[in-house]
Amino acid sequence: MGIDIALGTGIGIFFFLGVIGYNVFPLGLVGIGAFIIWKMVIQKQGLNTAGRGIQISDTSVDFEDIGGQSAAKKELKEALDFLLYSERMKELGIRPLKGILLSGPPGTGKTLLAKAAARYTNSAFIAISGSEFVEMYAGVGAERVRKLFRRAKDLARKEKKSSSIIFIDEIDILGAKRGSNVSHHEYDQTLNQLLVEMDGLGIEQDIQILVLAATNRSEALDQALLRPGRFDRQVKVDLPDKEGRLAILNIHTRNKPLAKDVDLGKIAQETFSFSGAHLESVSNEAAVFALRDDAQKIEMRHFREAVEKVLLGEKLDRKPTEEELQRVAVHESGHALLAESVHPHSVSQISIRSRGNALGYVRHYPKDDLYLYTQGMIEEQIMIALAGALAEEAILGVRSTGSAGDYEQSLRLVEKMIASGMSELGIVDVNKLSADQRVKVTHDILNTLEARTREIITQGKAVLRKVADVLQVEESICGEKLRSYLNTVA
């Protein structure tokens, strides 16, 4: 901004002197020369920072330190064997792998896998983010790519190693489809240079270089990067399943004192869709809660509170009115009653403590991780979502705005049913449906499920009132206590 002001002021003075009759020709030549020199200095400074953002890591991370990614680790090890046994590969005339792409959601351990790969192959390791390559000055990004590959070779020679691994995190910034950044061709030049450098890698070189890259948007990458001969292998690093979550929890709690009541298997069961980063945070937050309580060991209640904090956020100081508290208690009791009706033993906890954007919540845990859903399963999820509003209506006479999120969830699930051919329309192209058709089929599905939900809520009014009353006093009820009320209250 300061440079722009100075430049504008200089141009203004130049024209003013010309208007009053001053000979500005020599002054103009000096100004042009100064501008050219300034641009050259700035560009040189940009080139001299080509090594910024590079992290040279002497990591101690091993594959055994990474839990929940057995399939990804196996596939990655098989690919790394090309680097480990390069002499054998050369005898068989096998072309070496030049690049491996790690793709998956954030927090699943892609960076840890890259570090473990360097140790597994005894390679020098250099890490950099894709954003470090992009500059406003033409040619700077391409020069950084060239310098990165030179530095990888120099580091391997310095450490007396025969191979080097370059890890590029968030490669979708650098490797986005060419032409997608039409206003800035520097992106395309940088990508082109990366392609050239990868094409130059060969088995006959004294230092073998392998490029590892990570992204959670593989669909945004340029196809030239993904073709054979560049990123030859794509390793999917997905969210861990229940056994994977248990393995991750075991790793992150091995240096923590656990009480006898801690059941890591149950925590793993209750944390469906948690990534490795989430589970590490759960372990850490549980230790923090134990510290706050001045406890000698971490107990199961600390882990339960940690799961809630990671999932929903910290407890809030805001206090609802008595009327609001009663409505929230009835609403959450309705969700819990329906959940236990359609999926017995699925409710882990009901709470009316405010966390994040939620005044209350019901935490569920499935017996098994599911990745495919039948029509019946989706309908049951919709019924659970609708139950909160219908419980308010049955006990308090009217609904409230607290059900808006539940309705949004219900509508998304109805859309999934229509797209999956589970509606009366059969198999259809949802994009070709008219607004009237969408409204009618959505209305019919929700009316049918609302009637079934209302019937269950009406039959369970007694237990609904009991659970809501207890919630207003205790603020939280565990699943076991809820099920005892279901069995005892008529």
Which residues form the catalytic set?
332
Q: Say how many C-beta atoms besides its own lie within 10 A of residue 441's C-beta.
A: 18
Residue type at position 406 = D
Q: Which of 384, 378, 370 is nearest to 336 (CA)?
A: 384
User: Could you tell me which residues come within 8 angstroms of residue 396 by beta carbon, excluding any fewer than 6 positions away?
Assistant: 326, 327, 330
User: Could you tell me which residues come within 8 angstroms of residue 215 by beta carbon, excluding any fewer than 6 positions away?
Assistant: 101, 102, 103, 170, 171, 172, 175, 221
Distance between CA atoms of residues 203 and 88, nearest Å: 11
Cross-strand pairs, 347: 364
Q: Which tokens belong to 102?
A: 């790690």
Q: Which tokens belong to 54?
A: 């590079």
CA-derived radius of gyration, the chain: 30
As a whole number of Å, the end-to-end CA separation of the chain is: 74
CB 364 within 8 A of CB 346: yes
User: Could you tell me which residues come within 8 angstroms of residue 484 by beta carbon, excluding any fewer than 6 positions away?
Assistant: none
DSSP structure string for 27-88: HHHHHHHHHHHHHHHHHHHHHHTTTTT-EE------GGG--S-HHHHHHHHHHHHHHHTHHH
b/e map 33-65, b = 16+ CB within 10 Å: eeeeeeeeeebeebeeebeeebeebebebebee
At 233, is the secondary structure helix, strand, or coil? strand
At 433, is the secondary structure helix, strand, or coil? coil
Q: Which of 165, 56, 163, 62 is nearest to 112 (CA)?
A: 62
Residues across the chain: 490
Distance between CA atoms of residues 105 and 235, nearest Å: 12
Q: Which tokens belong to 128?
A: 């950099």
What crossing angle do the helices spanning 435-459 and 404-419 adopt, rounded to 10°? 120
Q: Which tokens belong to 483?
A: 């099920």
